[in-house]
């Protein structure tokens, strides 16, 4: 289990761009994810299924035609969580 922080240093919007994360890896099912960008508001797009241990975000998350599965807690601080797309988008928090 690792804490992985969003930097936005890649394309600044895609969950799946490794350069957007401080470890240069995409978070996995045992990871605790922290998304807190001080300088500007960002919308982070999730367009394929994601599984993480926990998620703490101060940015908008947009789940597009996919699923976001969170095993152990979600914290949203001055942010939003949207589900968009032509097919079903799913959010699961356990």
Give the residue-averaged pLDDT of 46-61: 93
Question: Bigger pLDDT: 94 or 60?
Answer: 60
**Eight-state DSSP code of residue 11:** S
Asked if pLDDT for residue 90 goes beyond 60, the answer is no
For 26-52, what is each residue's pLDDT tens digit? 999 999 999 998 767 788 999 999 999
Give the C-alpha separation, 27 to 83, whole Å.
20
pLDDT at 75: 85
Compute the mean pLDDT over every residue in the chain, rounded to the nearest whole number: 86
For the chain, percent of residues with pLDDT exceeding 70: 87
């Amino acid at each position: 289990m690792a804490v992985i922080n969003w930097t936005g240093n890649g394309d600044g919007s895609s969950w799946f761009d490794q350069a957007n994360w401080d470890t240069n890896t995409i978070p996995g099912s045992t990871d605790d994810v922290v998304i807190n960008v001080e300088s500007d508001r960002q919308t982070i797009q999730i367009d394929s299924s994601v599984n993480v241990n926990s998620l703490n975000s101060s940015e908008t998350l947009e789940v597009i035609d996919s699923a976001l599965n969170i095993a152990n807690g979600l914290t949203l601080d001055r942010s939003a969580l949207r589900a968009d797309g032509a097919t079903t988008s799913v959010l699961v928090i356990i």
